[in-house]
Structure 1
């Protein structure tokens, strides 16, 4: 018998407000944010184009904080992001929310919190590493009296459209604040909690409401964000529409890879290979999606498949979870796509399907391992949001062509001439020589170039 009071109400769904130049702004037009079971987690206020235009003008009219204040505020923001209650959420509540909507294992989200906080806290120091050695950062520098290069902004306002595949993607754009830009962020509707929390942390740390704004919105208003800025950065469909614009930096697919040449015992590097595939739930651009082997790839493919097959099926909130979860309908659509894409390959794992339903409307994306016949097989360029790896033979005759268009390449070899060629290849962004996982990174190092190389330029300055 139901004894609940007849006037009992459902708990209110939290609303994530837009954050404009006058503070929080709650709109009537909202978008539901659902978790991987389909349950509504929050509502996202969608800012109209008029509000976006006013915000962009306010950002442009504002003056940047002095450099020392920017550095101190970023250090405080990193600490606040990791440790403070922001927007009514403790760090643990924030991490649970991100886990529920993204489907990433909670252990991955916890690590991302620490990583993002560290990158934000180190942002001012990191951007200085991108400055040319011959340039000064301030025209008042005494070196300018005899003539000096000056590192200066290419604009004043940056638009940021960051995808919601992983919270760590938000660790880089605060470097623009370190350089004196004012920043407008459009959060992902899939996972808006990280952007919302980070903007709140930055404001609490000392950046004014006219220095950094959060502008959730539909497509028309999203275009207004890009048009109202001097430069734009990100990876969603809005940014890709402006891919030919030199003022827009579009995040590219990772397609990170591992190459093992002859004379290398892959058994010594199996832990690194599996970790490169599965760390971050296999969702990151730095996860290895392809492994190339000089010789027979079958023994390695079998060993990788055996390791990955042992991973458990668990909801993302379980501390033991290592695999990502999606709503079942989306997971089945992805499964159909991958199975069609994999036709003609040798499946070591996931050849008949890789979706395991949890019974609550969500499903685990289990790993897949496919062996290819050659290094020029079209599947080698496929990047997917779960541990999906393609393993192929490679020979010296193949050259570096199969390794192009790679964010991170780990190469295990004693051939220094080959390393010379890989380092010189313009479409390989980062090279790890030896048994270093593809996901390895630390603050201060470029991810896909330094962001400062896009945001800044050098000019000659001389003063009396």
Structure 2
């Protein structure tokens, strides 16, 4: 997987007939602009035939799925896949994505852990009144039976973290066949995971890797039975109205500090929420709401985040993301244009720290706003960037907290907690010292994926 400027190695598609090397290839570069691999992009007919072959295939029986997923999880996280060690994989992903290698390693282990527990975890979504199979004794007297909505899941995967690939393991556990369209910026995680699944015994007609251009990717959504897609607000709007497509858009995760909360005591949790996993995830906090004066809180956050070093992604001490310098400057310009009247406490001049090799570290940014409904708080960046705002329990006090993937609230007010849990537009709620990034297998993300992939039908076997 290590490349050279003269002859980057090939990264094949993985179809139902095995590896496929196409004539149409996309060069994958590292953050310095150096070529690392040539990714094969499959044509539409190849992709269409792959989806149809998946639909005709029969999934392994449930017990075999459980064993295969457990083995694949260990192999992906720790073993050698297609001759590539875990350490080599970590280095390559750090180089091309700019995610610090320690974060890559942690995220890869998370994928492995989720694979090992996927079969049990996915059952958290099954209604208690429904059986797994029509063969269950309950069906003799009439029972709900949990069944798939279709046979083939299409996954549009992003590049912001290897951990996003935990999302579709539930589908394999449920007997779906899965087609993954990887990010062209970081296809190595998807390639390794699909290869690991095949290496432990999953047949080629159970899971495929279909790198494509954007036009073909959109057609694949229509060809599959169900799909999940990650991306920006535009992606969420594009697919959100289609009932068989589940979009994962921006998280806009938040922190709420109510009156009396000790900022110093909770500062580690707050900054971990903002900058943990290099600040690249949808569960990273992008806004901190403070009941009282937000300025001291913003200053404390800025001081702590300002201590993070600017290092290349392969350095074990790195904690911040790295992108190509030109891309980093574009992101900086976008942030400046959107910040408006917000007062910068960190990153006032620039968030770009060039490393001298064509790449640049994305430094943290902390902005102070003077009202809870400031529109800047909706801006979500792919690095540690946070907006600190005042919050008051008056009027529609829930309004600024809505549309949130993960919310950490420092409060002991049972009434407030009750309202937060009841609010339908907040997906995850952590009370106390749990960063917004915290999770474990078996917990819903934006709801249980199983609730989207499955349905209950009445079955009676007389």
Normalising TM by the smaller chain, what interval? over 0.9
1:143 to 138, 163, 181: 138
1:302-321 alignment to 2 at 5 Å?
302-321=299-318
1:388 aligns with 2:385: yes
Q: Is the 8 A contact 2:5 2:34 kept in 1?
A: no
2:365 to 364, 368, 375: 368
- Measure the CA separation in 2 of the matches of 1:47 and 1:88: 24
State how far apart, in whole Å, the 2-side matches of 1:55 and 1:164 are.
23
Q: Find the counterpart in structure 2 of residue 56 from structure 1.
A: 51
Deviation, structure 1 residue 100:
0.5
Q: Report the Cα distance in structure 2 between the residues aligned to 1:219 and 1:301, rounded to whole angstroms.
A: 40
**Is the contact between residue 367 and residue 388 of structure 1 (CA under 8 Å) also seen in structure 2?**
yes
Partner Cα separation in structure 2 for residue 302 and residue 49 of structure 1: 53
- The residue that corresponds to 1:6 in the other structure is none
Find the residue that maps to 1:396 and give its secondary structure. coil
Matched, 1:176 2:160: no
Does 2:375 correspond to 1:378? yes
Post-superposition offset of 1:239: 7.3
Change (3 A) 1:239 1:66: farther
Report the counterpart of residue 262 of structure 1 in structure 2.
Answer: 259
| 1:286 corresponds to 2:283 | yes
Question: Counterpart of 2:245?
Answer: 248
**Paired residue for 1:451?**
449
What's the secondary structure of 2:154's corresponding residue?
strand
Q: Secondary structure at the residue paired with 1:242?
A: helix
Of 413, 416, 439, which residue of structure 1 is paired with 2:414? 416
Q: CA deviation at 1:52?
A: 0.6
Superposed CA deviations along residues 358-385 of structure 1, whole A, max 9, x for unmatched, are: 0000001000110100110001111110
Aligned positions of 1:12-31 closer than 5 A: 12-31=7-26
How far residue 224 of structure 1 moved from its aligned partner, in angstroms, is: 2.9
| TM-score, length-scaled by structure 1 | 0.96
> Gapped runs of 5+ residues in structure 1?
1-8
Aligned positions, number: 456
CA contact (8 A) 1:167 1:194 kept: yes
Structure 2 residue 220 is matched with structure 1 residue 225: yes
CA shift, 1:12, in A, is 3.2
String of CA shifts for 1:26-80, please: whole Å, max 9, x gaps: 0111001011000001110000001011111100111111111111111111011
* TM-superposed deviation, 1:345: 1.2
**CA deviation after TM superposition for structure 1 residue 228, in Å:** 1.5
Q: Classify 1:36/1:380 alpha carbon distance in 2 versus 1 (closer, same or farther; 3 Å).
A: same
For residue 402 of structure 1, what is the aligned residue in structure 2? Answer: 400
How many Å separate the matches in 1 of 2:348 and 2:165? Answer: 34
Aligned to 1:95: 90
C-alpha RMSD of the superposition: 1.3
1:274 corresponds to: 271
Q: Could you tell me how far apart the structure 2 residues matched to 1:41 and 1:369 are?
A: 34
Distance in 2 (CA, whole Å) between partners of 1:21 and 1:445 is: 32
* 2:101 match: 106
Q: Is the 8 A contact 2:235 2:247 kept in 1?
A: no
Q: Give 1:198's match in structure 2, choosing from 190, 193, 199.
A: 193
Cα distance in structure 1, aligned partners of 2:328 and 2:137:
60
The answer to whether structure 1 residue 426 and structure 2 residue 460 are counterparts is no
- Distance in 1 of aligned mates of 2:332 and 2:374: 20
CA deviations on 1:91-136 (whole Å, 9 max, x unpaired) are: 1111111000110110100101111110111111111111111111
Cα pair 1:233 1:239 within 8 Å, conserved: no
Q: For residues 264 and 304 of structure 2, what CA distance do their matches in structure 1 show?
A: 12
Distance in 1 of aligned mates of 2:169 and 2:428: 22
Contact 1:36 1:100 in 2 (8 A): yes
Q: Distance in 2 between matches of 1:450 and 1:238?
A: 20
Instruction: Give the Cα–Cα distance (whole angstroms) in 2 for the partners of residues 262 and 354 of structure 1.
Output: 31
Offset of residue 436 of structure 1: 1.0
Three-state SS of the structure 1 residue aligned to 2:240 is coil
Q: CA deviation at 1:241?
A: 3.0
